[in-house]
Amino acid sequence: MCEQRMVGIDVAKATLDVAVRPSGEQHSAPNDSEGIAALVNWVGMLEPTVIVVEATGGYEAALVAALGVAGRPVAVVNPRQVRAFATAAGYLAKTDRLDAPVLAHFAAALRPTPRPLPDAQAQELAALLERRRQVVAMRTAEQNRLGATRVERVRARIQAHLAWLDADLQEVDDDLRRSRRASPLWRARDDLLQGVPGVGPVVALTLVADLPEVGRLSHAQIAALVGVAPPSRASGTLRGRRTVWGGRAAVRAALSRGPCAPRAATLSFKGSTSASWRRARRRRSPWWRAGTSCSPSSTPWSGMAPPGGLRPPEPARWRTSRVTVAPL
């Protein structure tokens, strides 16, 4: 029987550390174009069953792309999951040289499934959307600074920067529209998504670029993937509480912005929940707030149960809790 080799690659800004299991062989290369090319050739000679790489905020993108082009089975995994595995397996220290063997052990124990990588066009669309989010964040920060300063020379500089950001945002939006029109498949999916009430062009393009699994997974799987399905925590003092963490933050942020909901809807339960629920029912008012100045009649979710099928909490266990729900 052919021995199955598991490879873990720890990606840093300057270096790439590799560990092979079960042989225990280790290798290191610089994180640049030449180092990545040499590493891909070296790993290719091993014929690994799976290569595990942590998501490191973009430093892994060039390596993953090169491995994908070479046809190597690569799986990009969540660092939080790897850290939990390392702690359970007894790897308490955390160094660059140790992280690669941990990733190889993770690959051997859990066998993550290699997934098809997005093509160059999809990566370009995702990069444009990320740039748009960055420009919008900078624009919001500058607008806040403009409202806080009273010095005219400083205000003039901020206003000039805001004008530049507005022009840059317009150029990014134009590039996104051209990218949408360039692909018949994206155009069809975008038109289908924008047919849903409350879904605009930015949300539709975000779903197309950052959530390509839409249409291939069930509703529950998609909700868990995005991170809008709060997992139960029914242990000890946390009994009855729910939390939202993980998932794809960019998609979740886009979904939380509707026509009249600039922020994620927030559910608040304080004090006697059962009494609060009965009072809300008597007033025939929504039991959740969208965090916006829009009137209840102007929101598409007014008077309806919140998305995700949440129901009133059980009175005996919910005393003070806060759950964030992103309406679509």
CATH of the domain at 52: 3.30.420.40
* Angle value at C-alpha 302, between 299 and 307, nearest 5 degrees: 100
Length of the chain, in residues: 328
- Domain membership of residue 232 (yes or no) is no
Other residues' Cβ atoms within 10 Å of the Cβ of residue 129: 21
Burial of 161 (0-12, 13-18, 19+ CB in 10 A): middle
Overall domain count for the chain: 3
Residues of the chain with pLDDT under 70: 1-2, 230-235, 238-246, 257-328
- pLDDT tens sequence across 110-121: 999 887 777 778
Q: Do residue 130 and residue 105 come from a single domain?
A: no
Domain end (from 110, 133, 162): 110
Q: Do residue 102 and residue 13 come from a single domain?
A: yes
C-alpha distances in Å from residue 7, one per residue of 36, 46, 210: 15, 9, 27
- Domain membership of residue 221 (yes or no) is no
- Which structural domain range is residue 247 located in? 238-325
Q: Do residue 103 and residue 127 come from a single domain?
A: no
Q: Do residue 198 and residue 264 come from a single domain?
A: no
Three-state secondary structure call for residue 325: strand
Q: Do residue 141 and residue 105 come from a single domain?
A: no
Domain end (from 87, 110, 133): 110
Domain end (from 90, 110, 130): 110
- Domain membership of residue 28 (yes or no) is yes
Q: Do residue 100 and residue 151 come from a single domain?
A: no
- Domain membership of residue 115 (yes or no) is no
Q: Do residue 136 and residue 102 come from a single domain?
A: no
Instruction: Give the pTM.
Output: 0.60
Q: Do residue 94 and residue 131 come from a single domain?
A: no
Say how many CA atoms lie within 13 Å of 166 toward its Cβ: 7
Q: Do residue 261 and residue 313 come from a single domain?
A: yes
Query: For position 29, what pLDDT does the model report?
Result: 92
Q: Do residue 125 and residue 191 come from a single domain?
A: yes
C-alpha distances in Å from residue 268, one per residue of 16, 186, 271: 46, 38, 10
- Domain membership of residue 1 (yes or no) is no
Say how many CA atoms lie within 13 Å of 177 toward its Cβ: 7
Query: For position 286, what pLDDT does the model report?
Result: 40
Q: What are phi and psi of 20, to 5 degrees?
A: -115, 135
Please say whether the beta carbons of 284 and 259 come within 8 A.
no
Q: Do residue 193 and residue 273 come from a single domain?
A: no
- Domain membership of residue 215 (yes or no) is no
- pLDDT tens sequence across 214-271: 888 888 888 888 888 766 666 677 666 666 566 788 888 888 764 433 333 333 333 3
- Domain membership of residue 302 (yes or no) is yes
Helix (H) or strand (E) run with residue 78 in it = none
CA distance 75 to 73: 7
Query: For position 308, what pLDDT does the model report?
Result: 42
